[in-house]
C-alpha cells in the first residue's frame, strides 16, 4: 500500500519567526504521525529554521525549487547540495508558478510571466535528474490551464509534462519520485477539481508512469492532488483510488488546518 502524503508548500510566506511558529504548530499536531508522510516546504530563507523545529519529529523538510548545476555564476539560484546542507530531503520541481502559469491571473499575461519565471519541460527535467543524482527526492508538478481544460487537452498537456520530466530517470530512481497533479486553474483560486475528475487524471498519470517504466513502478509511486485542498474537501479526495495525498498551499499556512489534513491522510492508511 502506498503511504499517504501531506506536503505543505508555503510559497512566498513566513519570515523566520513566523516559520518557526508555524513549524512548531505542525509538529505539535502531526509531528509524530507514522501512517502518513508529512513534508514542509518553506521559503529558502526559512529552511534551517524549520529544520530545527522538526528535527525531533517525523516531519520531513523540502525546498520549493532548485537549479541543476552544482555551483557557479548563477545569481539567486540554489543547488541540490545547498538544500541538502539545510536538511532537505525533498524538493518541489516544476510547480506551475515556477513555469509562469498562474490560475489567478489573466492568461494574456502568461508570456510575460513565463519569461520571468522561466521553467520549461526541459529545465524541469534537468532539475529532476540533478535532484535524484544528489540524493534529493523530487515532487514533480504537472497540470493544465483553464483554457487547456476547456479545449479538452488536459490529458495531453499533463501526460506530456510527466513524460518530459521523467526523461532519463532510471527505474531505480523512480522509487524516489513523487508526482503532484495540480490543475492550474484550481491553485490559489478557491476552486477545486471534482474529486472524481482529480482521481481520473491522477489515474491517467499513473498510466503514463507505467508506460515510461512498468506497472510495478506505477503502482508504487505516490501521486498527489494539489489545488485548494482544505479540511472541508480532503476526505473526499483521500477516498479516491489514485490520490495518495495532497500538495497543499493555503491550508498549510495554518497549523490547525494542516493538522486536520495530516490526520485525514493518516486515517486513510488504516
Q: Can you name the residues that pair with 40 across neighbouring β-strands?
A: 8, 61
Conformational region of residue 16, where left means phi above 0, alpha means psi within -120 to 50, and beta covers everything else:
alpha
Q: How many helices (H) and strands (E) does the chain have?
A: 12, 8
pLDDT (0 to 100) of residue 101: 74
Is it the case that residue 269 has pLDDT exceeding 70? yes
The CATH number of 5-268 is 3.20.20.70
Query: Over the stretch 115-141, which tens digit does the pLDDT of each residue have?
Result: 667 799 999 999 999 999 999 999 999
Provide the 8-state DSSP code for 3. Answer: P
Place of cell 481544460: 149
pLDDT given for residue 187 in this prediction: 78
| CA angle (209, 5, 70) in 5-degree steps | 70
- Phi then psi dihedrals of residue 21, to 5 deg: -60, -45
Q: What is the pTM of this model?
A: 0.95
Return the SS3 of 49.
helix
Whole-number Å distance between alpha carbons of 270 and 266: 7
Q: What share of the chain is helix, strand, coil (3-state, %, to 5)?
A: 45, 15, 40
The pLDDT tens digits of the residues spanning 31-90 come to: 999 999 999 999 999 999 999 999 999 999 999 999 999 999 999 999 999 999 999 999
**pLDDT tens digit string along 163-198?**
999 999 999 999 999 999 999 988 777 777 899 999
Catalytic (active-site) positions: 95, 182
Amino acid at each position: 500500500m502506498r503511504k499517504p502524503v501531506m506536503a505543505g508548500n508555503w510559497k512566498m510566506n513566513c519570515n523566520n519567526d513566523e516559520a518557526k511558529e508555524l513549524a512548531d504548530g505542525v509538529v505539535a499536531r502531526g509531528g509524530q504521525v507514522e501512517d502518513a508522510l508529512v513534508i514542509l516546504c518553506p521559503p529558502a530563507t526559512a529552511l534551517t529554521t524549520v529544520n530545527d523545529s522538526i528535527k525531533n519529529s517525523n516531519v520531513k523538510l523540502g525546498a520549493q525549487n532548485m537549479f541543476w548545476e552544482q555551483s557557479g555564476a548563477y545569481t539567486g539560484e540554489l543547488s541540490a547540495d545547498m538544500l541538502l546542507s539545510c536538511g532537505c530531503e525533498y524538493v518541489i520541481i516544476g510547480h506551475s508558478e515556477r513555469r509562469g502559469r498562474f490560475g489567478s491571473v489573466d492568461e494574456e499575461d502568461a508570456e510575460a510571466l513565463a519569461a520571468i519565471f522561466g521553467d520549461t519541460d526541459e529545465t524541469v527535467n534537468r532539475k529532476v535528474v540533478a535532484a535524484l543524482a544528489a540524493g534529493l527526492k523530487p515532487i514533480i508538478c504537472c497540470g493544465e490551464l483553464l483554457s487547456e481544460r476547456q479545449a479538452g487537452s488536459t490529458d495531453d498537456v499533463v501526460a506530456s509534462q510527466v513524460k518530459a520530466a521523467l526523461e532519463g530517470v532510471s527505474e531505480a530512481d523512480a522509487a524516489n519520485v513523487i508526482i503532484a497533479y495540480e490543475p492550474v486553474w484550481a491553485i490559489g483560486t478557491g476552486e477545486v477539481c471534482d474529486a472524481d475528475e482529480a482521481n481520473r487524471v491522477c489515474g491517467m498519470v499513473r498510466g503514463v508512469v507505467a508506460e515510461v517504466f512498468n506497472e510495478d513502478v506505477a503502482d508504487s509511486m505516490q501521486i498527489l492532488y494539489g489545488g485548494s485542498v482544505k479540511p472541508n474537501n480532503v476526505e473526499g479526495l483521500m477516498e479516491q483510488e489514485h490520490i495518495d495525498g495532497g500538495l497543499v498551499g493555503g491550508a498549510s499556512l495554518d497549523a490547525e488546518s494542516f493538522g486536520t489534513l495530516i490526520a485525514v491522510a493518516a486515517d486513510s492508511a488504516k
